[in-house]
Structure 1
Amino acid sequence: MNTSRYLIICVFLIFGVHSEGKSQQNTNNQTDSPPNILLVFVDDLDHEPLGFMGDSIIHTPHIDQLAAEGVVFRNAFATTATCITSRGTLMTGRYAARTGIYFDQFDELTAEQAAISFPAQLRQSGYHTGYVGKWHLGPFREGMFDDDRAYDGQGQFWSEEHPPERGSHLTDRLGNRAVSMIHDAPGDKPFAVTVGFKAPHVQDGFHPVEPYPASPATAVLYERDEMPAPPLSDSAFFDSQPDFLKESLNRVRWEYRLGPPESLNFQRSLRRYYRMITGIDRQLGKMMDALRETNRLDNTIIVFTSDHGMYLGDRGFAGKWLGHDTAIRIPLIVRDPGLREAEAGTRREQMVLMIDLLPTFLDWAGLSPQEGVQGSSFAPILAGGDPGDWRSEFFYEHHSFPDRIPRSEGVRTERYKYLRYLDSEPLYEELYDLREDPQESDNLAGDPDHARLLRQMRDKWEQWRKKVR
């Protein structure tokens, strides 16, 4: 064969094979289409007991890896620290004052709200949408999901169908469903999948049962670890609070779930709480493996967050609901493979809220939010931008179960927080300088030196409660 002709053929074959491989890779990764979105939505997860947050006891290697490869939002918050209400804000991008979704009053999406939810809008634009796990917003409305693998109500970690002796814990079952959903997602369109873990929520929210029944796979973890006392957990601080707080459901649950930090019950419960988080971490690892196996990891944005924070003995409480940062601050990690490598493992300080997830998801899909959405896309912040008009404050509200949990509203700015307990007589307010007092231990509301600041924050509260409706 002629030498030059041989070289031409070899070059053609080499570049032809390379191009074909590149084309096949693009098809598998769907690089020419909008990104896949995987939302891992955890229930009752405090933002601190995670390895990347500096907790030296807990094992969360997959969550830590997500943080190392993605962006961590250090100031992410729920606008209402209640499971159902927070889910309503997630789905609609609106404050509870606008959705009307409060736990004891109205606890499901209306047909109109379902139609404007982020799954419905993504599905209408061509996404394959799916949901796994705890839904907690009434029946699924038509048009939201192509693949429904949710369950009704709170759910049980163990059941007659899945008893402990068979080793099939709810967290593991949900992880398996999520892996299956990823494998089953069609290859000709992007997907948006939400995985709603019940853990580390307690087994039953209203009765003194075993709070945190962990999977056998994590049953021996942390058994020898001494769980540290949480902030403001001393009896003197608890006694300094007004009676209506000391008699609230937060304290009732503390009595049987936790108790004093030195007690056996506290140590046992916190160890099991940590085990539940590690159980979620293992399922996250399986989901990331499934994305690799289906060649989707390089075109899937993974979002890891929680519906709200938790009092784990802080202030002598157990639960959530109130407006302190312990209850409203949430973990938020976003791993976007489309970002520059320099952004991996970085932190963002801007205030990001639960209501921002919907417009952000739509932004990634090339869509714009409809009128009435109260959140904003944080996609530019994720990419390293610094929008000059980004928020510097937000409104907080809680109105569920006023006979057991005091109704409250307030405003949190970058430096100050004002909380107002609506039914208290006489009126009880809290005012904190978060820069000087991040634990919110020194209530300045009664301090004459801060009277002007108190008036300013009251004015903000009045303006915000009108604005959010």
Structure 2
Amino acid sequence: MPSSVISLTILSLLAFGVMNPSANAAERTARPNIVFFLVDDQRDDTLGCAGHPIIKTPNVDALAAAGIRFENAFVTTSICAASRASILTGLVERTHRYTFGTPPIASKFGEESYPAVLKRNGYQTGFIGKFGVSLSRDVIAKMFDSFQPHNRNPYHKKMPDGSTRHETQIAGDNAIQFIKSQTKQKPFCLSISFNAVHAEDGDKRPGIGHYPWPKVVDGMYEDLTLPEPRLSNPKVFESQPPFLKKSFNRVRYFWRWDTPDKFQTNMKAYYRMISGVDHVVGRVQKALKQQGLDQNTVIIYTGDNGYYMGQRGFAGKWSHYEESLRVPLIIDDPREPKSLSGRVLKPMVLNIDIPPTILNLADVKIPAQYQGRSLLPFIKGETPVNWRQDFFCEHLMDNAGIPKWEGVRGKRYVYARYFENDFEFLHDLEADPDQLINFAYDPNYAKVLKEMRKRCDELRDGYGGPFKAWPKPKKRKKPPRKNLQTRLILNHQRHSL
């Protein structure tokens, strides 16, 4: 064969990627679409794929089977406002300084939030559901091309035809509409932020009032008798210091879990709400497939904080125990080889790792101010160098019913300092994985306590230093009329602790 023909043949093969598989890399590594599901008040163990023996979550379980699940995922602050601010900005509460009752997130943080950075770099960005934070309208416009916030209260919304539809399903409707409006010429990032599975705090009727579920899951779990919560022995509650015994953790226990009938009714309703979220996850997956977008869309699923369901005689979140800090985290990148599917990873990962991960997936530079780390190496089956062995956690909301605290959660030891109550906790997860014993006042742990105090101070000071309260706002005789977004935020704050 003449050399000219051989050369032409080789060039043709290269053009089609036959001789060099990496020739198709541009197609395989085209910037992906990203769908980010954020659930309210869902703890890490309330999924079928996490081993829960009762809850049915087949669509989320399928995500975990196709992707990866992190079994040690935590939030740095266990309340929706501060945690959602951290997820947007990549910063801990000590740095972004946002929670209920504070001024809006600073513009310098909002403008470097993951949606704002994506939007600047060519992504079509959308938001649907519970926003949960306050930002200026100008910053929100820099973050999202499509912004559709909606709250609960009530969950069942009246439709134009007179029927009602659950807010979770409405979020799914809007997400599908957004997906159908996309083209393959421009990547998108859609954040779907559920109000579920947060209780309807203003309606304490057990079941349908306090945890109203979508009609699609009517009847689920009805014929079951649910087991009592772990750590519900009254002695566990009695071991708590007085300030926790009087906290919202205990007050809301009597809203939800204090009698066997109330526990059974509310727990089944809560499970239905989770299954309702799972149903919407499946609807969105189906829409992606119908639009031919599923093979280039990364899906992330997580919660904004943990949740007490009667454990320790508590309800809600807020405090330092594992039930409060642990959340689910699943990432499915369909572009990765099947050999990497279904992994369950042990490294300690955080809510503040989500924004750098999203930007890394999009091949966008991560802002230097971010305090989390990208999880992309884990997604690709790699082992990151010098991964964290502990993390700083805290709760700084100014509320008499929620004690402020700061601490460190390490692989073995957990330290929490309730600094306004002059009280410390030290837990040894090896000796006492259920955190039933406080070793802070045990002389045998004096050295460990000193080390954990020092580590807490070191991390705290790196993030912003000792707690500084915001100045109290001056009272106005006639406050100016608030815009729609501000009214939505304030309505959310009244009902969302």
CA distance in 1, matches of 2:278, 2:172: 10
- Pick the aligned partner of 2:459 from 458, 461, 464: 464
Deviation at 1:105, TM superposition (A): 2.0
Asked if 1:118 is matched to 2:114, the reply is yes
Q: Aligned AA for 1:382? A: I
Q: Aligned AA for 2:112? A: I
Deviation at 1:65, TM superposition (A): 0.6
Three-state SS of the structure 2 residue aligned to 1:429 is: strand
- Pick the aligned partner of 2:100 from 98, 103, 111: 103
Asked if 1:80 is matched to 2:77, the reply is yes
Partner of 2:64: 67
Partner of 2:322: 325
Q: Aligned AA for 1:86? A: S
CA distance in 1, matches of 2:154, 2:348: 34
Q: Aligned AA for 1:340? A: P
Three-state SS of the structure 1 residue aligned to 2:165 is: coil
For normalisation by structure 1, the TM-score amounts to: 0.89
Partner of 2:130: 134
Deviation at 1:289, TM superposition (A): 0.3
CA distance in 1, matches of 2:93, 2:386: 24
CA distance in 2, matches of 1:467, 1:178: 39
Partner of 2:416: 419
Q: Aligned AA for 1:147? A: S
CA distance in 2, matches of 1:229, 1:332: 26
Partner of 2:375: 378
| Cα contact 1:162–1:169 (8 A) shared by 2 | no
Residues 183-216 of structure 1: per-residue CA shift (max 9 Å, x gap) = 1123310100000011110113x66452201112
Asked if 1:41 is matched to 2:34, the reply is no
CA distance in 2, matches of 1:343, 1:168: 39
Three-state SS of the structure 1 residue aligned to 2:346 is: strand
- Pick the aligned partner of 1:199 from 193, 196, 201: 196
Partner of 1:22: none
CA gap of 1:386–1:162, structure 2 versus 1, over 3 A, is: farther
Asked if 1:430 is matched to 2:425, the reply is yes
| Cα contact 2:85–2:105 (8 A) shared by 1 | yes
Question: How does 1:2-81 map onto structure 2 within 5 Å?
Answer: 31=28, 33-81=30-78
Three-state SS of the structure 2 residue aligned to 1:350 is: coil
Deviation at 1:270, TM superposition (A): 0.4
Three-state SS of the structure 1 residue aligned to 2:127 is: strand
Q: Which runs of 5+ in 1 are unaligned?
A: 1-14, 20-26
| Cα contact 2:248–2:401 (8 A) shared by 1 | yes
CA distance in 1, matches of 2:167, 2:70: 29
Partner of 1:454: 449
CA distance in 1, matches of 2:160, 2:383: 49
Residues 273-312 of structure 1: per-residue CA shift (max 9 Å, x gap) = 0000000011000000011001111101100001011011
Question: How does 1:217-236 map onto structure 2 within 5 Å?
Answer: 217-236=216-235
CA distance in 1, matches of 2:69, 2:428: 24
Deviation at 1:166, TM superposition (A): 2.7
Three-state SS of the structure 2 residue aligned to 1:390 is: coil
Question: How does 1:156-305 map onto structure 2 within 5 Å?
Answer: 156-161=154-159, 166-204=163-201, 208-209=204-205, 210-260=209-259, 263-305=260-302
CA distance in 2, matches of 1:313, 1:67: 27
Over aligned residue pairs, what C-alpha RMSD do you find? 2.1
Deviation at 1:418, TM superposition (A): 0.4
CA distance in 1, matches of 2:93, 2:29: 37
Q: Aligned AA for 1:239? A: E
Partner of 1:336: 333
For normalisation by structure 2, the TM-score amounts to: 0.84
Deviation at 1:179, TM superposition (A): 1.2
Deviation at 1:367, TM superposition (A): 1.6
Asked if 1:445 is matched to 2:440, the reply is yes
Percent identical across equivalent pairs? 36
Q: Aligned AA for 1:236? A: K
Residues 76-99 of structure 1: per-residue CA shift (max 9 Å, x gap) = 110000101001101110111110
Q: Aligned AA for 2:451? A: Q
CA distance in 1, matches of 2:160, 2:167: 8
Asked if 1:391 is matched to 2:394, the reply is no
CA distance in 1, matches of 2:250, 2:279: 32
Three-state SS of the structure 2 residue aligned to 1:142 is: helix
Q: Which runs of 4+ in 1 moved over 6 A?
A: none
CA distance in 2, matches of 1:397, 1:455: 19
Deviation at 1:328, TM superposition (A): 0.7
| Cα contact 1:231–1:439 (8 A) shared by 2 | no
Deviation at 1:31, TM superposition (A): 4.4
Deviation at 1:67, TM superposition (A): 0.7
CA gap of 1:195–1:250, structure 2 versus 1, over 3 A, is: same
Partner of 2:310: 313
Residues 370-400 of structure 1: per-residue CA shift (max 9 Å, x gap) = 2211111110122121122111110001011
Q: Aligned AA for 2:69? A: V
| Cα contact 2:96–2:106 (8 A) shared by 1 | no
Deviation at 1:159, TM superposition (A): 4.0
Deviation at 1:366, TM superposition (A): 1.2
CA distance in 2, matches of 1:154, 1:462: 39
Three-state SS of the structure 1 residue aligned to 2:252 is: helix
Q: Which runs of 5+ in 2 are unaligned?
A: 1-11, 17-23, 465-497
| Cα contact 1:46–1:308 (8 A) shared by 2 | yes
Q: Aligned AA for 2:261? A: L
Three-state SS of the structure 1 residue aligned to 2:186 is: coil
| Cα contact 1:432–1:440 (8 A) shared by 2 | yes
Q: How many pairs are equivalent?
A: 437
| Cα contact 2:44–2:71 (8 A) shared by 1 | no
Deviation at 1:160, TM superposition (A): 4.9
Of residues 189-198 and 132-141 in structure 1, the stretch that sits farther from structure 2 once superposed is 132-141
Deviation at 1:32, TM superposition (A): 5.7
Q: Aligned AA for 1:268? A: T
